[in-house]
Amino acid sequence: MPRCAVVFNPIKVSDTFRETLQSRLTEQGWSDTIWLETTEDDPGHTMTAHALSAGVNRVIGAGGDGTVRVVAHELANSGIPMGIVAAGTANLLARNLELPMAEAEAIEVALGQQIRAIDLIQLTVDDRDPEHFAVMAGMGMDAVIMDEVDPGLKAKIGSAAYFLTIGKAMGRLPMKLHIRMDEHHRHRRRAMICVIGNVGVLAGNITLMPDAKPDDGVLDVYVASPHRLTHWIRVFVRLLLRRRHSEDQVDQWRGRRVEVVLEEEDNYQLDGDVAGTCRRLVAEIAPGALQVCVGGPAETVGAQMGEDKGTAAPIRVADQPHSEGEVA
């Protein structure tokens, strides 16, 4: 009998979440489900590691972007499929993968048998241990907006709360940084925003990097260095129309590895959560590192599971060829 572990944030999910999910697990033949609540001190690291050590066939991450990112990090390169029940404000990975936002529909997808292999990005910050993220890491205005947004307001009005913090972020001085893509020469910028992305859509459904795909085998880097009003206007026009302009003071590069060195320590964010401060970031693509449930029928799950380790049979797994790194 297949086993499932559920790593969930009890503050984010609905009051009926556990009852609803358990009912569907029972109906579909899953047994001995492991329920693991995240805590304020641990957003899911220990819980997901416990699930893996228990030899489960699937791990469902239910909560906000922080919970989803941590579960994805722990599942990286494990081969164990991850189901996502997005219960946060932005729900960045779920939106970029076009997963349903409604809890009942998300549960059906999380238990389904259509699995997609997506990339993760491994990030090393200064001399700390590497960690993975699935959506974006950012510095400058990006991190300020995430840090300054009011949690109460975010709970009331959702993603719109991020836009109310733009005024505070606009007042900060540019960051002086050096960027090197793969083995190419370094670029020096006085930037307001620096984002490293695995996908391209931000909170509020703003497309920052139109070419970014979750399974293309490369990471995308977006650096905006506007210093005058006309620059800012061009940056916003670029976002709205998704058209590049040679004079909008925006750089976009693609590759397999990027190193960012700041002249002064600053905050950085991972998938929408401020993670700390840094002077140096090294990001490397991890192609196909995470198996994600993206849909498909779930009625025959018991018959579809393997017998040895219990991993899901490859009913429909995306296996797109990864492109070679590109640098603009």
DSSP-derived secondary structure for 108-119: HHHTSSEEEEEE
* Phi, psi at 279, each rounded to 5°: -120, -30
Looking at residue 103, its pLDDT comes to 96
CA 29 to chain centre: 30
pLDDT digits (tens, 9 = 90+) for 255-302: 999 999 999 998 899 998 888 999 999 999 999 999 999 986 544 443
Question: How deeply is 246 buried, as exposed, middle or buried, from its count of CB atoms within 10 A (0-12, 13-18, 19+)?
Answer: exposed
Q: What percent of the chain has pLDDT over 90?
A: 59
Query: Residue 193 has what pLDDT?
Result: 87
What does the alpha-carbon distance between residue 78 and residue 4 come to, in Å, rounded to a whole number? 15
Closest CA to 275 of 70, 52, 48: 70
Tens digits of per-residue pLDDT, 165-207? Answer: 555 555 566 889 999 999 899 999 988 889 999 999 887 777 8
Element (H, E) at 267: strand 257-270
Torsion sign (Cα): 222, 281, 263, 170: positive
Mean residue pLDDT across the chain: 82
Sketch out the chain's domains with CATH numbers: 4-119+289-318 (3.40.50.10330), 124-286 (2.60.200.40)
Are the C-beta atoms of residues 120 and 271 closer than 8 Å to each other? no
What pTM, to 2 d.p., does this model score? 0.81
Helix axes 17-27, 103-110, angle to 10 degrees: 40
- The first and second tokens of residue 56, run together, are 């489960």
pLDDT value at residue 326: 35
Whether the per-residue pLDDT at 238 is higher than 70: the answer is: no
- The model's pLDDT over 205-237, given as tens digits with 9 standing for 90+, comes to 778 888 999 999 999 999 988 665 555 555 555
131 class by beta-carbon count within 10 Å (0-12 exposed, 13-18 middle, 19+ buried): buried
